[in-house]
Structure 1
């Protein structure tokens, strides 16, 4: 079954990483894949554009089915292989609601992290303002407090949506992994760092760990002054 799958991906991209974690959790090892370089704009190639008009990664194909958005690809894999591997969406409506809530809240955490960590990359030099970066930092700190509160309420040793590893963890872990890599002060998010330590050696996460992170474990220090 996995041989009929093809994933175009870029290393270090949280959207790509979460699809790879989902594939591992659903025991779909052996899928075909093509690693493309963002730096070389390889994701803008005609091969990707033929499947994904936005020329973005991940681009995922299963037989004749094409699913390009990372959340959609992860949810598709859970639906198509519900009884295989790790059950990522619980049946209980209350538990399910919390999983979906955390999944889609990940967008907020990811964007606010990007706004600080990659500010110099996104904003041209002549348009950068210290006041704007300060506002971005304040917004990220507030977001981190929310997630810290979620884990505090869940209790020590909890996953993002309860006692079991779920789609919330598949989707959000690749974002959380950026905080220690980019030197975020641990005191800003101690519970998230406990969570990171708990999950970083999970087989699905280790198997899909970004290539350049293996070669260079520490990234830039763009979150150092958060």
Structure 2
């Protein structure tokens, strides 16, 4: 009997990254929707993720949190889908997935919060300047059609999601390399299915 796969999320969260990845692997899974400040902070969910944040997955007795880790775990656990890296792709796959989870997200968040890292403190911050981070990820998405090489992998789900959100919300500069890369990686049935599921789960707006 296959181990149950449970997905903990909120449709207005980074859980959309994990949703896309779950749709890519094509395995049955059960969704548990959580609300900010209530069920996300409940004792039951804190036993899954003590941070009280989403996304998280539970696969049998295995719990995985953090979007990049979920994408990598699902790709490795369900290798027949072909989204895990080959030996030749492995370096780029992990390099850019972790760069996105670290410097890119940190730099974008810092700027979105209205902070500017003083030049003399950039080494202390780790992520460096927003300009150097964007130049670096532009280099990554311009070096090959997909982030790890010539084919789509789980790293494109993660990196692509961040770039797509950044373009949509204006937190990432609208450089042509980013626009072109996002168009390539988002043209997938699994991405569209995931979006439809989460959009349908969004809170309905009251008529004013």
C-alpha contact (below 8 Å) 1:145/1:189 kept by paired residues: no
Instruction: Report what 1:19 is aligned to.
Output: 18
Moved over 6 A (4+): 133-136
Instruction: Report what 1:103 is aligned to.
Output: 97
CA gap 1:48/1:102 in 2 versus in 1, 3 angstroms? same
Instruction: Report what 2:29 is aligned to.
Output: 31
C-alpha contact (below 8 Å) 2:56/2:65 kept by paired residues: yes
Instruction: Report what 2:167 is aligned to.
Output: 180
Instruction: Report what 2:88 is aligned to.
Output: 94
The CA deviation at 1:48 is 0.7
- In structure 1, distance between residues paired with 2:185 and 2:178: 11
2:89 is paired with a residue whose SS is helix
Instruction: Report what 1:222 is aligned to.
Output: none
Q: 2:46 aligns with which of 44, 49, 54?
A: 49
- In structure 2, distance between residues paired with 1:189 and 1:140: 14
The CA deviation at 1:164 is 0.4
- In structure 2, distance between residues paired with 1:178 and 1:185: 8
Instruction: Report what 2:199 is aligned to.
Output: 211
1:208 is paired with a residue whose SS is helix
- Normalising by structure 2, report the TM-score: 0.79
- In structure 1, distance between residues paired with 2:46 and 2:5: 17
- In structure 2, distance between residues paired with 1:173 and 1:24: 15
The CA deviation at 1:18 is 2.4
C-alpha contact (below 8 Å) 2:163/2:172 kept by paired residues: no
Q: 2:56 aligns with which of 54, 59, 74?
A: 59
User: Gapped runs of 5+ residues in structure 2?
Assistant: 204-208
C-alpha contact (below 8 Å) 1:48/1:59 kept by paired residues: no
- Normalising by structure 1, report the TM-score: 0.73
C-alpha contact (below 8 Å) 1:3/1:32 kept by paired residues: no
The CA deviation at 1:24 is 1.3
C-alpha contact (below 8 Å) 1:116/1:133 kept by paired residues: no
C-alpha contact (below 8 Å) 1:18/1:170 kept by paired residues: yes
CA gap 1:133/1:180 in 2 versus in 1, 3 angstroms? farther
The CA deviation at 1:197 is 2.1
Instruction: Report what 1:218 is aligned to.
Output: none
Q: CA RMSD in A?
A: 3.1
Figure out how many residues of one structure are paired with residues of the other and give that number. Answer: 195
Instruction: Report what 1:123 is aligned to.
Output: none
Instruction: Report what 1:9 is aligned to.
Output: 9
